[in-house]
Amino acid sequence: MTHQQSPTEAVAAVVIMAAGAGTRMKSATPKVLHKLAGQTMISLAVDTADALSPQHLVVVVGHEREQVTAHLAEIAPHATIAVQEQALGTGDAVRSGLSVLGEVSGEVVVTSGDNPLLAGETLVELVSRHRNERNAVTVLTARVPDPTGYGRVVRDHDQVVRIVEQADASADELQIAEINSGVYAFDAEALRTGIAALGTANAAGELYLTDVIAHARSAGGRVGAHLLEDWVQAEGVNDRVQLARLNAELNRRILNRWMLDGVTVIDPATTWVHAGVDLAPDVTLLPGTSLEGATSVASGATIGPDTTLIDVEVGENATVTRTHAELAVIAAAATVGPFSYLRPGTELGERGKIGAFVETKKAVIGAGTKVPHLTYCGDAELGEGVNIGAGTIFANYDGVAKYTTTVGDHSFVGSDSVLVAPVQIGDGAYVAAGSTITGPVGPGELAVARGQQRNIAGWVFRKRAGTKTEAAAKAAIEAAEQGRQAGEDNQQ
């Protein structure tokens, strides 16, 4: 292995193995499409590989490959897809990967699609050790608390002699705590000849990539190990217990980073922040908060408790309490919640309010406008300084199509009104409480659209004689009469 490269020279290729069946996940979804912190395992693996800026990025797919390939076309159009027809083992997976590359020289780095916490910097360190030690193969290893199921690293001082799988290991070898992470840097030539020499004489009857090590040594090459202090990076996901554990660990790492950047997290154990979220210093996250997708929160805002925001933009000093919101914009100093449901297309202006038991959808709500209680506000445009009374319904749907309602600046809609769309309420207009509005209301007008009040005197005495209601009415009338007479006596 005599070729010399500067540390900045790109590796020839990274090959990500992702063709296994993932049987232990017991899922209709391919293993590498399961998500941690909102990202699929395969997209995390691609991001990690990209840290090396390899000349070629190859993903080996097989099981459920249509789904995996379609996803890769979206998230990693720069990747070359290699198909492994049958899952004959990790050695065969890499052979499939190399077959799409043609002749390459330099290093080939191999990783797994099910190794979600592996960091890009770790790959950079692995390659730099590989180059410094002039190794034929460098294995990324770790000492994990429970090595069960992993390949064990058999060493001779600082060199690796071989890797033995759990099923093939002797009792002594099972005592070895250092495991193979399944991540390697190979000299391309050593990898090619080693794979060509693989056999299936092992417990699984598979072509083990790890057997390339013995071949490289017998050809006179050096095999080194890069031991990871941060052993969690070496952990693989084979079942949903490991998925949950690594997801929690990834979340913990994301939260630690935000806390060190000035975000207050009251309860990290119940706060979930996806990898694509952006938070400013002096944001406060209360317990039970989940921030997902491309959500961003500006400085001074408080989110939670018990709030889920998916692709939501929150402005400075806003508060969002016990709320579920998706594809919404909440401007600076606005308040939302408790118990609010913001559906896609909601835009709340500065200092605006969406209050308790309010549902909004495609609603553009102006600065300082308040929708405080018990309202459905869909397909609506509300100006500035509007007040929407408790229990107002924007009736946007006639059973066939949806229509828009507009309410002008500084207008006031009384409680329990129904605004039957399409309808326009002008600037500076009033709607009387309990109205059903079906036609336009002009600026400065008061619209009253409800039955006139009519009181029928003596009805209770005629229709409810002998009830407590009648007795109460009688007592009240007598008391009023006595009061009136006492007033007259005083004046005399």
List interacting residues with Ca ion (CB under 5 A): 236
Closer residue to Ca ion, CB minimum distance, 23 or 469: 23
Distances (CA, A) of 362 to 136, 227, 329, 382, 401: 60, 53, 11, 11, 14
Query: Which of Ca ion, ligand UD1, none does residue 84 bind (CB under 5 to 8 Å by kind)?
Result: ligand UD1
Binding partner at 360 among Ca ion, ligand UD1, none, C-beta below 5 to 8 Å by kind: none
Closer by beta carbon to ligand UD1, 20 or else 352: 20
* Residue closer to ligand UD1 (CB basis): 153 or 413: 153
Q: Which residue is nearest to Ca ion (CB)?
A: 236
**Six token digits for residue 247:** 């997801």
For residue 215, indicate whether it is catalytic. no
Residue 87 partner contact from ligand UD1, Ca ion, none using kind-dependent CB cut-offs of 5 to 8 Å: ligand UD1
In angstroms, what is the minimal distance from the CB of 344 to ligand UD1? Answer: 36
C-alpha span between 307 and 135 (Å, rounded):
51
| Structure-token match 């052979």, residue found | 95
- Pairwise CA distance, residues 247 & 315, whole Å: 28
Q: What minimum distance in Å lies between the beta carbon of 21 and ligand UD1?
A: 8
The option from Ca ion, ligand UD1, none interacting with 179 (CB < 5 to 8 A, set by class) reads ligand UD1
Tell the smallest beta-carbon distance from residue 31 to ligand UD1 (Å).
7
CA separation for the pair 212, 174 (Å, rounded): 21
From the number of C-beta atoms within 10 Å of its C-beta (0-12, 13-18, 19+), residue 217 rates as buried
* 3 state SS of 415: coil
Element (H, E) at 222: none
Closest CA to 413 of 443, 365, 446, 366: 446
C-beta of 176 vs 259, nearer to Ca ion: 176
Q: Toward ligand UD1, which CB reaches closer, 115 or 360?
A: 115
Q: How far is the CB of 60 from ligand UD1 (least distance, A)?
A: 5
Residue ranges binding ligand UD1 (CB under 6 A)? 17-20, 60, 84, 87-90, 92-93, 112-114, 150-151, 163, 165, 179-182, 208-210, 236, 238
Nearer to ligand UD1, 84 or 295 (CB): 84
Question: Residue 88 binds which entry of ligand UD1, Ca ion, none, with Cβ cut-offs from 5 to 8 Å by kind?
Answer: ligand UD1
User: What's the length of the chain?
Assistant: 492
Residue 334 contacts residue 317 (beta carbons within 8 Å) = no
Structure tokens, 129? 């050790």
For Ca ion, which is the closer residue by CB, 236 or 383? 236
- For 241, phi then psi, to 5°, come to -70, -45
Of 236 and 414, CB closest to Ca ion = 236
Q: Which residues pair with 430 in a beta bridge?
A: 412, 446
CB of residue 288 to ligand UD1, shortest distance in Å: 34
From the CB of residue 359, how many other CB atoms can be counted at a distance below 10 Å? 19
Which strands sit side by side in the sheet containing 284-285, from one edge to the other?
A: 264-265, 284-285, 302-303, 319-320, 335-336, 353-356, 370-373, 387-388, 412-413, 430-431, 446-447
- The entry of Ca ion, ligand UD1, none near residue 405 (CB within 5 to 8 angstroms by kind) is none
**Shortest-Cβ-distance residue relative to ligand UD1:** 151
Residues 243 and 254: their CA atoms lie apart, in Å, by: 16
Cα–Cα distance measured from residue 487 to residue 464, given in angstroms and rounded to the nearest whole number: 31
Q: Would you list the DSSP string of 137-153?
A: EEEEEEE-S--TTSPEE
Q: Say if residue 345 is exposed, middle or buried (CB neighbours under 10 Å; 0-12, 13-18, 19+).
A: middle
Least separation, in Å, of the C-beta of 139 and ligand UD1?
Answer: 9
Taking the complex as a whole, the smallest distance from the CB of residue 326 to Ca ion amounts, in Å, to 34
Q: CA 397 to CA 407: how far, in whole Å? A: 17
Which of Ca ion, ligand UD1, none lies near 38, with the C-beta cut-off 5 to 8 A by kind?
A: none
Which one of ligand UD1, Ca ion, none interacts with residue 144, CB within 5 to 8 A by kind? Answer: none
Q: Note whether 365 and 383 are within 8 A (CB).
A: no
User: Among 71, 324, 373, 410, which one carries the catalytic annotation?
Assistant: 373
270 in Cβ contact with 287 (< 8 Å): yes
CB of 208 to ligand UD1, least distance (A): 4
Q: How far apart are CA 241 and CA 262, in angstroms?
A: 32
Please give the positions annotated as active site.
373
